[in-house]
Amino acid sequence: MKQNFQNAIIATVLSFVLLSLTIGGLIQVEGIETTVVARPWYVVIGCTIVFIIQLFRDQLVFVFKGFGNVLKTLVRAEQIAEHAIQLKGSDRFNPLFYLTVLICLSVYPFIVSDKLWIGMFIDIYIYILLALGLNIVVGYAGLLNLGYIAFYAVGAYTYGILNHFYDFSFWLALPLSGMTAALAGIILGFPVLRLRGDYLAIVTLGFGQVLVILLRNLGSITGGPDGIGSIDRPTMFGIEFSRRAKEGGVPFHEFFGLEYNSIIKDFFFYFLALALVIFTIYVISRLVKMPIGRSWEALREDETACKSLGINSTSVKLSAFAISSFFAGLAGCFFAAKQRHISPESFEFIESVIVLAIVVMGGMGSTIGIILAAIFVAVLKDYSQDLQEYRMLIFSLILIVMMIWRPRGLFPATRPFIKLQNRQKSQECGC
Amino acid sequence: MLAKFTKSIIAAAMFTFAFVPSSFSADTIKIAIVGPITGPVAQYGKMQMDGASMAVDQINSKGGVNGKKLEAVLLDDVCQPKQAVAVANKVVSRGISFVVGHLCSGSTQPASDIYDEEGVLMITPASTSPEITKRGFEMLFRTIGLDSQQGDVAAKFIIDEIKPKRVAIIHDKQQYGQGLAEVVKKQLNASNVKVVLFEGVTKGSNDFSALISKIKGLDVDFIYYGGYHPELGLILRQARERGLKSRFMGPEGVGNKDISAIAGEASEGLLVTLPADFTTDPANAGLVKAFDDKKLDSSGPFVMPSYAAVQIIADTIAKSKSEDPYTVAKLMKKSTYQTPIGTVAFQKNGDLKAFKFIVYNWHADGTKTPAK
Amino acid sequence: MQLLEQILNGITLGSIYALIAIGYTMVYGVIGMINFAHGEVYMVGAFVGLIVMTILSSIGASLVPVYLIAMLLIAILVSSVLGWSIERVAYRPLRGKHRLIPLISAIGMSFFLQNFMQLSQGPRPFAVKQLIPGSFTVSESFSISYMQILIPVVTLVFMVLFTYFISKTKLGVACRATEQDRRMANLLGINTDTIISVIFVIGASLAAVAGVLVSLYYGTVRDTMGFIIGIKAFTAAVLGGIGSIPGAMLGGFVLGFTESFASAYIGGDYKDIVSFVLLLLILLVLPSGLLGKAEIEKV
């Protein structure tokens, strides 16, 4: 206790120095005069918080540890339950459960029937898509990609440019966007994947920056800082969702003889996003069970061992890069179609960090964890009016706390594991 | 795992429903005022918010419109296209049908796409890019002039008064700044004034030393800047520090006291094209006093146009006795209004029939005087 | 004449990069992590400088050296405390973990500081008054502003102080020993935890000096100013050979020149791209940089 008290005093003195000349003085500009207004209360409050935290440090650590243990038990219980289901002979795929979830999600938009709340779920779906894609690289393959949002941008601009200049439709551009993004992933990955982890992270970050600079400067193609506007919405079998259809098209409401209501369009986007998410989850869940997915994880655990087993580490890493970029491309294309306007600001580094925060928080490699984290982050980011200003502060704190407390996330992925008494199952841990 | 997942879904759903907007009150007429409340050009947003809020207050104190009060909903788009789209969607989902905004042309353009489709009437008091009204939207108006008018005034002044030999034109690559820069360049070329440099700078950057050295190397005697004040302020300051003595000129996006705070002495003698100063109009004396009483500055270029925008919406709603934006828009095109920015009538595309820009001399203490 | 001016621009810019790059290279040399939050320390230093300047001018100080010394010293003080706290809070608990874990924590720290300053002062640029206006005119088309003389001079002073510290003082020798072999230094009775803290404090002080100088030179301070310059200074450190202190100084100047010439002869828009491409090329072709020693990855 005495030690803690001493520490607390030192920490308080230091935070006083830190706070008094940063938050303690507000810079105010009146006309051409600049003045500093003292805000002593901010400093006092800040110092008090630091003092209390330091004084009760042991207790806090205890609480965090306890919470961590609860989570650990939960995860363990989940693993055992899952194992039990498997033992009972039913496959991991439980149709009834997934059907229930699907039905719930399908009736949701009709129940709320409000643009704001449908829009929130569409945003959540986009974050899920992005986070699942990034999870392939970060969670499974263990490569830190800090420029992930660049591939999202590639997807979005692919559709934007194809639509703006060549009138490509959404459905044609969707696979193309994915493939262009994957190609970008391969082009970037080819030279840089030899680099060690933290260098790779910085280079991918640099790539993301370069792409944004190019988007800003290649005005004749990308529209510069203003971006590309009036992008076409997707159609459903040729039926449009706008008030007035383009030349030769039929708007949805006229086709079905309804009064125009713009919410129909939101329903459509909702289901489109849901379909994309389901597709992504399905593909990824298959991939990780295939040899390719197994070798991603093996490579993450021990690169040297994998090399000596004859795994071509470059091509395995490249495949992870390309596939994860592919999903970012799909998400980007959908984003462009939904927003109808894309500009470089949507693809800044901060967005990469947000997606990374989702992956880190959800548990690297864990799909369920990531979905929950994506919901949390999307709600916090855009739909919490009171916390708006503090959201980035909260994200950054989450990143730090998670690294110290649970670096593998709240819900770490369930690894395929061998039970000794069940020997024939041991092939499952394929490397 | 099953139970946990189901539980979390239920929790998420409950969480969602808990936040569903509680009530829609129909006893007020909501007008969204959208502009940059935060960010590097928030000063212009303040002008817009001050002007529009003043109009709402004054109309309400006279009993509102058709027995209903006006309600100003202030929203922040940070002058980014991305945020503008997000805010426009918010306006639509809150069921607001009248918007005064946005401010930056780059934001107005994408937002107006959404408003047009969703049937929201929009008056921008500040966006001057001609592209905005070119698309034939029926419910898009503006209470300010166009870049083509402003650029013409600027180019004419440069050609007739300054008579430079070699001109450099710099812009910030955005719709507003680049658009203006191109208009000026075209006019100067047409009168055989030599434009030796036409270059973009990146919004938000702060090191212009290489650009300035380049301009010095080109022996330029006049510089036009298309863009906003944070960048021009730094360019001016760094240029003067480096001994570049050429005169600068900028559009109304630089006409703000902050430019003097950034550039200090270097802002003395800067030429700025601004809408005519409405505060000196004797007809506005009462209004200017109302601003002064609230300790608000009424001299900014967007204060009166914003006031006028709200007033026009309110007048037309009163006249048409309808809150349907389509009806209001139709009537708006046929009507004439007496506003603080003079007599207002709209063209078919929503532009003003007449708007006047004047060239001012900017001073280091943040004041301005008409240049002749 | 334009060439001469661009060289001068390169020296000024290079001084700034060199000051910041030292912090990166020392931290990397000792604990092998990229201190992503270093650019933010520079930003905080600049803000502190501006606040001190404003307070001084409101109490009526008029001597330029008073301003300069007070701004530098107080910014160094606050940044040192900040650098020390960052290491203590976000990095020390993670020592010995996988390489990416402290990196993610550092990214979190960087965004935390950026948003903290944004919330406390507002998300917009703040003008910094001209302290030393004017320039030294050589000829009609060639002049050197006083700031462009001041920045390299101040940088030089701090470099000399720093070199003296690292090569002559006992603490400096301990720093170098820790950098070369942490475990061995520990066995020899050096408290390596203290030394790591000292390294963070020194790096932060130099970044604060850079922050104050830049705010006076360019004339604005804002919350986002640390991010790009941080990455560029890291590029400079890699360019010079990460872990090597003379390398960081050299790398800073090389990068400064490259950028000035790139923006003069390729176009200002692309100068950032040039530095990123440079970073990529060095990492691929010459991973140990100009003055670094080749690193053997042990298995």
SS (H, E, C) B342-361: EEEEECCCCCECCCCEEEEE
Binary contact (C219, B39; C-beta < 8 A)? no
Question: Among the ranges A413-422, B207-216, C203-212, which has the highest mean pLDDT value?
Answer: C203-212
Residue C18 lies in a domain: yes
Question: Do B139 and B154 reside in the same domain of the chain?
Answer: no
Mean pLDDT of chain B: 85
d(CA A361, CA A84): 27
List CB contacts (< 8 A) between A23 and chain C: 116, 120
Binary contact (B206, C130; C-beta < 8 A)? no
List CB contacts (< 8 A) between A374 and chain B: none
Residues of chain C with pLDDT under 70: 1, 140-141, 294-299
Q: Residue B20 — pLDDT band, cuts 50, 70, 90?
A: very low
The pLDDT assigned to B24 comes to: 46
Count the residues in chain A.
431
Kindly report the nearest CA distance between residue A406 and chain C, in angstroms: 10
B257 shares contact with chain A (CB less than 8 Å): yes
β-pair partners for B368: B362
C109 shares contact with chain A (CB less than 8 Å): yes
List CB contacts (< 8 A) between A97 and chain B: 2, 5-6
Is the model's pLDDT at A184 over the cut of 90? Answer: yes
The pLDDT assigned to C100 comes to: 78
Identity (one letter) of the amino acid at A176? L
- The residue range of the domain holding C81 is 2-121+132-285
Kindly report the nearest CA distance between residue A346 and chain B, in angstroms: 6
B8 shares contact with chain A (CB less than 8 Å): yes
The phi, psi pair for C242, rounded to 5°, reads -70, 135
The pLDDT assigned to B1 comes to: 46
Binary contact (B117, A112; C-beta < 8 A)? no
Token pair 């973009």 is found at: B200
Binary contact (A117, B366; C-beta < 8 A)? no
C12 shares contact with chain B (CB less than 8 Å): yes
Which helix H or strand E contains B305, and what residues bound it? Answer: helix B303-320
How far is the first Cα of chain B from the last one, in angstroms, to the nearest whole number?
78
d(CA B341, CA B275): 9
Mean pLDDT of chain A: 82
d(CA B290, CA B286): 6
Nearest CA in chain A to C101: A403
Is the model's pLDDT at B14 over the cut of 70? Answer: no
CB atoms within 10 A of CB A75: 20
Token pair 């593909």 is found at: A283
Opening angle at CA C219, ends C217 and C225, nearest 5: 90
d(CA B330, CA A431): 70
Binary contact (A341, B85; C-beta < 8 A)? yes
d(CA C266, CA A257): 58
Binary contact (B110, A227; C-beta < 8 A)? yes
Residue B290 lies in a domain: yes
Question: Do B90 and B182 reside in the same domain of the chain?
Answer: no
How far is the first Cα of chain A from the last one, in angstroms, to the nearest whole number?
50
d(CA B238, CA A285): 57
The pLDDT assigned to A388 comes to: 64
CB atoms within 10 A of CB B21: 11
Kindly report the nearest CA distance between residue A77 and chain B, in angstroms: 8
Count of A-B CB contacts under 8 Å: 113
Q: Which residue in B195, B189, B234, B80 sits closest to C268, CA to CA? A: B234
CATH number at residue C66: 1.10.3470
For chain C, where are the alpha helices, taking DSSP H only? 2-31, 38-58, 64-86, 100-121, 146-168, 170-180, 182-187, 192-218, 225-240, 245-265, 271-285
Is B322:B328 a contact under the CB 8 Å cutoff? yes
The pLDDT assigned to A80 comes to: 67
Kindly report the nearest CA distance between residue C229 and chain B, in angstroms: 11
Which DSSP string do the residues of B171-196 spell out, in sequence order? E-SSHHHHHHHHHHHHHHHHTT-EEE
- CA–CA distances in Å: residue A116 to residues A303, A341, B114, B352: 47, 19, 15, 34
Task: Name the DSSP class of A234.
Answer: P
The pLDDT assigned to A402 comes to: 84
Task: Name the DSSP class of B158.
Answer: I
The pLDDT assigned to A419 comes to: 53
Q: Which residue in B36, B67, B38, B32 sits closest to B52, CA to CA? A: B32
CA dihedral C181, C185, C186, C192 (to 10 degrees): -80
CATH number at residue B317: 3.40.50.2300
| Proportion of chain A above pLDDT 90, given as a percent | 19
List CB contacts (< 8 A) between A117 and chain B: 16, 19-20
Nearest CA in chain B to A32: B261
The pLDDT assigned to C48 comes to: 95
- Nearest CB to B216: which of C5, C134, C269? C5
Joined tokens for residue B345:
């009538």
The pLDDT assigned to C239 comes to: 87
Is A318:A190 a contact under the CB 8 Å cutoff? yes
- Residue range B191-206: average pLDDT? 87
The residue from B212, B244, B269 where one domain ends is B269
- CA–CA distances in Å: residue C164 to residues A104, B318, C19, C172, C198: 69, 79, 15, 8, 15
- Residue range B69-94: average pLDDT? 86
Nearest CA in chain A to C49: A21
How far is the first Cα of chain C from the last one, in angstroms, to the nearest whole number?
54
- Nearest CB to C141: which of B40, B217, B233? B217
Question: Do B256 and B234 reside in the same domain of the chain?
Answer: yes
For residue range B312-348, list pLDDT tens digits in order: 999 999 888 888 888 888 888 888 888 888 888 888 8
Question: Do B154 and B67 reside in the same domain of the chain?
Answer: no
Question: Among the ranges A161-175, A190-204, B12-26, which has the highest mean pLDDT value?
Answer: A161-175
Residue C174 lies in a domain: yes
d(CA A12, CA B329): 61
Kindly report the nearest CA distance between residue B199 and chain C, in angstroms: 8
Residue C293 lies in a domain: no
Residue B98 lies in a domain: yes
Residue B70 lies in a domain: yes
Binary contact (A404, C105; C-beta < 8 A)? yes
d(CA C131, CA C251): 29
Q: Residue A257 — pLDDT band, cuts 50, 70, 90?
A: low
Q: Which residue in B185, B196, B129 sits closest to B158, CA to CA? A: B185
The pLDDT assigned to B26 comes to: 60
The structural domain count of chain C equals: 1
Specify whether the backbone of C199 is left (phi greater than 0), alpha (psi in -120 to 50) or beta: alpha
The structural domain count of chain B equals: 2
Q: Residue B15 — pLDDT band, cuts 50, 70, 90?
A: very low
Is the model's pLDDT at A425 over the cut of 50? Answer: no
The pLDDT assigned to C151 comes to: 92
Binary contact (C123, B38; C-beta < 8 A)? yes
Residues 40-79 of C with CB under 8 A from A: 44, 47-48, 50-52, 54-55, 58, 74, 77-78
C224 shares contact with chain B (CB less than 8 Å): yes
Question: Do B54 and B70 reside in the same domain of the chain?
Answer: yes
List CB contacts (< 8 A) between B216 and chain C: 1-2, 5, 141
B24 shares contact with chain A (CB less than 8 Å): no
Question: Do B195 and B118 reside in the same domain of the chain?
Answer: no
Question: Do B35 and B131 reside in the same domain of the chain?
Answer: yes
Task: Name the DSSP class of B69.
Answer: E
Mutate to test the interface with A, among B1, B41, B198, B365 (most CBs of A within 10 A): B1
Residue C74 lies in a domain: yes
Comparison of pLDDT for B68 and A194, the residue scoring more: B68
Kindly report the nearest CA distance between residue C254 and chain B, in angstroms: 16
Binary contact (B89, A115; C-beta < 8 A)? yes
Question: Do B161 and B177 reside in the same domain of the chain?
Answer: yes
Is B126:B255 a contact under the CB 8 Å cutoff? no
Residue C183 lies in a domain: yes
B16 shares contact with chain A (CB less than 8 Å): yes
The pLDDT assigned to A248 comes to: 61
Q: Which residue in A133, A80, A82 sits closest to A287, CA to CA? A: A133
Residue B5 lies in a domain: no
The pLDDT assigned to A28 comes to: 83
Residues 6+ apart with CB under 8 A from A84: none
d(CA B332, CA B235): 42
The pLDDT assigned to A89 comes to: 43
Residue C271 lies in a domain: yes
- The residue range of the domain holding B157 is 148-269
Q: Residue A249 — pLDDT band, cuts 50, 70, 90?
A: low
d(CA C168, CA C163): 8
Which DSSP string do the residues of A126-146 spell out, in sequence order? HHHHHHHHHHIIIIIS----T
Which DSSP string do the residues of C59-120 spell out, in sequence order? TT---HHHHHHHHHHHHHHHHHHHHHHHIIIIIGGGTTS-THHHHHHHHHHHHHHHHHHHHH
Q: Which residues of A389-420 are buried (b: 16+ CB within 10 A; e: fewer)?
A: eebbbbbbbbbbebbbebbbbbbbbbeeeeee
Residue C299 lies in a domain: no
Binary contact (C82, A18; C-beta < 8 A)? yes
For residue range A227-246, list pLDDT tens digits in order: 888 888 887 776 777 666 66
Question: Do B177 and B110 reside in the same domain of the chain?
Answer: no
ipTM: 0.85
Is B203:B174 a contact under the CB 8 Å cutoff? yes
Q: Residue B23 — pLDDT band, cuts 50, 70, 90?
A: very low
Is the model's pLDDT at B70 over the cut of 70? Answer: yes
Q: Residue A431 — pLDDT band, cuts 50, 70, 90?
A: very low
β-pair partners for B275: B357
Kindly report the nearest CA distance between residue B262 and chain C, in angstroms: 5
List CB contacts (< 8 A) between C259 and chain B: 210
Binary contact (C127, B233; C-beta < 8 A)? yes
Nearest CA in chain C to B242: C145
Which helix H or strand E contains C137, and what residues bound it? Answer: strand C135-139
Is B360:B272 a contact under the CB 8 Å cutoff? yes
Question: Do B130 and B197 reside in the same domain of the chain?
Answer: no
B322 shares contact with chain A (CB less than 8 Å): no
Comparison of pLDDT for B159 and B281, the residue scoring more: B159
Binary contact (A115, B2; C-beta < 8 A)? no
B15 shares contact with chain A (CB less than 8 Å): yes
Q: Which residues of B252-284 are buried (b: 16+ CB within 10 A; e: fewer)?
A: bbbbbbbbbbbbbebbeebbbbbbbbbbeeeeb
User: What is the maximum alpha-carbon separation in chain C?
Assistant: 63
Residue C265 lies in a domain: yes
Joined tokens for residue C99:
């390489």
The pLDDT assigned to A37 comes to: 87
